[in-house]
Amino acid sequence: MRPRRTAAALLLAAALAVPAAPARAQSPTPAPAFPTGTATAPDGRTDLTDASGRRLRLRGFNLDKYAEATEQDVRSIAAQGFTLIRLPVSWTRLEPARGRLDPAELARLQRLLGWADRYGVLALVDLHQDVYGPWFVGGTGGIPPWATRDDGLPFEADPDDWFAGYFQPAVQAAFRHLYDDPDLRAWQADFYTRLARELRGHRSLLGYDLFNEPFGPVAGDPADPEALARSAAELEQGRLAAMYRRLIAAVRRADSRAWLFVEPTVLVGQGVPTRLPGFTDPRPGAPRLGYAPHFYDTAVESGADWDPSGGFVERYTAAVTAYPAAHRLPVLVGEWGPPDSRTPGNTLLVRRQVDAMDGFAAGWAMWYWCRGNGGYCALDPAGRPAPGDEPAFGPYPVAVAGGGARTTADGARHTVRWQADGTGRATEIVLPAAAFPAGARITVRPAGALAELDQPSGERAGRLRVRLPHVRPGTPVTVTVEPR
């Protein structure tokens, strides 16, 4: 059973603060707000919407690579008020020998989705690869050895630069065969169909990130930025686009409900816009397709502290927004976050990334949910937000009855603004307990708003619901939230 939470339902005048209130029971198994459609704003931004038409914002975390996670991890993510988990899974672990899904690995993935069902979060299944697969980098992640053809070409790992492995001749050959060989194409598509058939039916299953950080053959010197950009464009327009069409069709043979997200190459992080074409969705009704770029600064990934004068966030935002606007796709940033948020530059980078994504993304999943002293872990050893990662744990509007929602912060004080749609439906704002350990004070404008506040309690997030039953569409709404 979930703990009881405090609640208040009050008529608010302008700038009237909401006091504490008595407890009431909550549902032990809340259903996640599954997005059933999209809404596109005049500026081209496309949001996910729920069944009532409210615009959704999904926020959450990647779980440990290849789904090495516990029920406590999922429960804690939900308790903090997050609504999304990204589950990196591995083709080679799920199908170690061709033609048969591994029962133990499949059961573990089913358990994770079952926990997501139980605690009311959505799950995005990420078909993950790094440097193709274990044939090159060891371990158990990526594309199976039985689907790896390297033409006997050399591979030399660089212990100081794992990404350099992508440019090794053997890895380049393996990607070329995966894209081009008819039997590998058919085996990959068949795997996606069988996996989708096994996982469909979970109410938490948002959908699939179809191929993590796609890469491919590079013509010319990979150290030449122009040659690299040309190769990425050729890949996205040709081989990768054809793969995405196959994989979309493969999943749709088993599941018409899931959302399917395509990724660009990692060059988007260097300000290179994607050259992917648009895609069609064979499902009945409106398409359920999205765009899932990653948000990493190359220099920071290489160990540097972030330099705000370098223009990374501005270049990335410019590069990442044109494609989804042109094709009316919601953006879900599948991975982001610095290797160590504790350094001064990276602390500022986290704030800047949260602010930027608030402007262009329908959701995000930070890399990743774990406890530690440094590294990518979003939590410190005691389970609190890691120093510097606090902006990722701030309040946010999870469902908005209106448009143009933005959240700004001035120290511990947060302000959420949007334009009401005039329907009187509730806008819901999540108040993570990490940001409001002693509860929250709120003010709401305009006068006449109806607000209901479930205060944060212990480690459990609160939630504010704001209704404006007698306002015209487009009326500005302002909610200010600060710790008690």
How big is the chain, counted in residues?
484
Nearest CA to 335 among 398, 293, 392?
A: 293
Distance between CA 390 and CA 370 in Å, rounded?
A: 15
Distance between CA 436 and CA 462 in Å, rounded?
A: 9
pLDDT at position 360 over 50: yes
- Measured between alpha carbons, how far is residue 281 from residues 249, 256, 290 in Å? 8, 9, 11
Nearest CA to 76 among 430, 460, 438?
A: 460
pLDDT digits (tens, 9 = 90+) for 389-443: 999 999 999 999 999 999 999 999 999 999 999 999 999 999 999 999 999 999 9
pLDDT digits (tens, 9 = 90+) for 367-382: 999 999 989 999 999 9
Range scoring the smallest mean pLDDT among 13-27, 42-56, 138-152, 282-296: 13-27
Percent of the chain with pLDDT over 70: 93
Higher pLDDT, 33 or 66: 33
Residue 138: predicted pLDDT: 81
Alpha-carbon Rg of the chain, whole angstroms? 22
pLDDT at position 445 over 60: yes
Residue 36: predicted pLDDT: 97
pLDDT (mean) for 191-204:
97
pLDDT digits (tens, 9 = 90+) for 19-32: 333 333 343 445 66
pLDDT at position 339 over 70: yes
Buried b (16+ CB within 10 A) or exposed e, 157-196: eeeeeeeebbbbebbbbbbbbbbeeeebbebbbebbbbbb
pLDDT digits (tens, 9 = 90+) for 141-196: 899 999 999 999 999 989 888 899 999 999 999 999 999 999 999 999 999 999 99
Residue 66: predicted pLDDT: 60
pLDDT (mean) for 122-144:
93
Residues 6 or more apart from 108 whose CB is under 8 A from it?
67
pLDDT at position 41 over 70: yes
pLDDT (mean) for 331-345:
96
Distance between CA 240 and CA 280 in Å, rounded?
A: 15
DSSP lists the bridge partners of residue 97 as: 100
Is residue 353 within 8 A of residue 388, CB to CB? The reply is: no
Residue 3: predicted pLDDT: 35
40-393, superfamily in CATH?
Glycosidases (3.20.20.80)
Percent of the chain with pLDDT over 90: 86
Distance between CA 89 and CA 66 in Å, rounded?
A: 4
β-bridge pairing 335-336 and 476-483 = unpaired
Distance between CA 418 and CA 420 in Å, rounded?
A: 6
Residues 6 or more apart from 406 whose CB is under 8 A from it?
358, 359, 416, 417, 418
Distance between CA 295 and CA 317 in Å, rounded?
A: 9
Which pLDDT band, with edges at 50, 70 and 90, does 220 fall under? Answer: confident
Q: Where are the domains of the chain?
A: 1-30+402-484, 40-393
pLDDT at position 140 over 90: no
Residue 222: predicted pLDDT: 87
Q: Tell me the pLDDT of the chain averaged across its residues.
A: 92
